[in-house]
Amino acid sequence: MRILVTLLLTFILNACGSLWGEPPSEIEVGRGDTLYSISKRYDYQLRDLIDANNLKPPYTLKVGQILIAPVTNYHTVAKGDTLYSISRQYGIDVKTIADNNGLDYPYNLVIGQKLAVRGKSNTSIASNYNSGKPTVSAPKNNQKNVSSAQKTTTRRSTSKPTKISKYRKTKFLWPVKGTIVSKYGTIGKGRANDGIQIKAPRGTSVKAADKGTVAYSGNELKGFGNLILIRHDDGWITAYAHNEKLLVKKGQRVERGEKIATVGSTGGTNSPQLHFEIRAGKNPVNPVNYLQ
């Protein structure tokens, strides 16, 4: 069995933005890179990447060039989101988020709307993002903003990530009813299983082990088939692999016990089963000890 930790750290942290750690403070331009490809790789807004680096049209990049990572991140509004729930998720007060995004009381949100949740965002630019029609125009030559970004990213890169205790008050729900066919830990020939394999009939409902936000939903990781990662409000992460159907999307909020997928045999398995992991931050733990 392949191990989730190496692949997920490489793919998620480098390609889909930060999940278990802070995003990079600097980005080195590689062969074939464009502003658009970099913005997609790290889930940045194109306008923010341009402004953070004081770039001018035609925005030509050189291999080896170092770009400053934008300090403004965005939250995509999902079903059930409110400005209050978003403020708690990111530790920012409601008024700050409203002001940064040009929102007026009663702060009505639309699914798919992008909200700036860190740093200051120009109101007119935020309006374009919110309407789903981002624009790219010549950036203002504002050295003060660039200096501010440099200082912020420097602080961010030197700060230590928050360590999450392996103690958790609330136990997780079993994601599916079935039989454990592969246990957590060493499985022979120097291989280790960072989770458990649960055998269940094809099409059986897979449920969220606890409430949280979908950090990943897709099938780009070879060997895991259709995979879902949920980041829970306390920083813990659960992973669900080999699914037949994925019923949730990245950025969506899910409730404890909510159906998120169906059991399948996609990826590196020949029989219907669920590969399930629980992580305290980056660190895998034995799921059996944390399930009820």
What single letter denotes the amino acid at residue 124?
S
Give me the pLDDT at residue 229, please: 92
Same fold, 19-158 and 166-290: no
- 3-state class (DSSP) for residue 210: coil
In this predicted model, what pLDDT tens digit does every residue of 204-213 receive, in sequence order? 999 999 999 9
Low-confidence residues in the chain, pLDDT < 50: 1-3, 5-7, 9-22, 119-162
Please name every residue paired with 279 in a beta bridge, in sequence order, or none if there are none.
237, 284
Give me the pLDDT at residue 71, please: 64
Give me the pLDDT at residue 149, please: 37
- For residues 74 and 186, give the distance between their C-alpha atoms in angstroms, rounded to a whole number: 39
Give the single-character DSSP code of 225.
-
In this predicted model, what pLDDT tens digit does every residue of 28-78 receive, in sequence order? 888 888 988 888 777 677 877 888 888 888 888 999 899 987 765 678 888
Give me the pLDDT at residue 228, please: 93
b/e sequence 186-220, b meaning 16+ C-beta within 10 Å: eeeeeeebbbbbbbbeeebbbbbbbebbbbbbeee
- Superfamily covering domain 19-158: LysM domain (3.10.350.10)
Give me the pLDDT at residue 8, please: 54
Q: Taking the model in full, what pTM does it have?
A: 0.52
Contact 244, 207 (CB under 8 A): no
Tell me which fold the domain 166-290 belongs to.
Glucose Permease (Domain IIA) (2.70.70)
Q: Where are the domains of the chain?
A: 19-158, 166-290
